[in-house]
Amino acid sequence: MRTRLPLIFLSLGLALAVATGIWQPAHTPAYASSATGLQADFIRVAQQVMPAVVSLKAVRVVTTAPRGGSEDFWRGTPFEGTFRQQGQPVQRRQVGQGSGVIVDPRGYILTNNHVVAGSQEILVHLYDGREVRGRVVGTDPRFDVALVQIQAQGLKAASLGDSSRLQVGQVAIAIGSPYGLEQTMTSGIISATGRKGLGKGNYGDFIQTDASINPGNSGGPLLDIDGRVIGINSMIAAQAHGIGFAIPINTARQIIAKWMK
């Protein structure tokens, strides 16, 4: 009986520790619960923000030189230019792909200037499958910011964050349409802030991130772990991997405020 008493007290002690949460069994390590919590955060952000992310198609009509007729068969001879055939310029339809984020339920969509610049028609594909025409209400080429408006009901706007509070190392999430693959979500971290000397050199306060950004992501949102827009994805470093840049949302918000009525 004396040999059993210590075992009985030990069993009771373990049971009490588990019940009160003082001790956790070895099969539920802390990192597992942390990973599960982070996964839940990503799922929540996707469900919360994706309805506010759109795919943009910017249609441009470009004029190109005619095929044939541009070469002079008699070039280099005394007859050069005498018998040259002059063809007619050719117009063709060019469709550019980009992304955008709804920032106001009245139909205002924030995107990049380079996505919509020179377009004669803008087609906006919404999360629920609708495709509507949009119109540009304002552009700022220097900061590569543009605002598009559509006429549609039941729109959900994303929440805007505060890019002045960003810290290197915090989670960054990108949503957009890389290569036309709509509603693609990638994740990484904030790699740096205040990057200068990029693009045309007119503006120098980019957010750097290693969240995967590709052609077609331009104009889409960069988000924090709470699903708030902290930047607008704008460009990538050529021939690099995991180096993308976004315009801080505080800058973009200040620019578009004068266009929203």
Active site residues: 114, 144, 218
Query: 48 is written with which tokens?
Result: 């919360």
Beta bridge partners of 124: 56, 132
Cβ contacts of residue 250 below 8 Å, gap of 6+?
162, 163, 164
Q: Report how far residue 80's alpha carbon sits from residue 98's, in angstroms, rounded to the nearest whole number.
A: 46
Cβ contacts of residue 236 below 8 Å, gap of 6+?
213, 214, 243, 244, 245
Closest CA relative to residue 226, chosen from 166, 146, 155, 178: 166
| Residue recorded with tokens 């087609």 | 123
Query: 204 is written with which tokens?
Result: 């120098």
Q: Report how far residue 119's alpha carbon sits from residue 231's, in angstroms, rounded to the nearest whole number.
A: 24
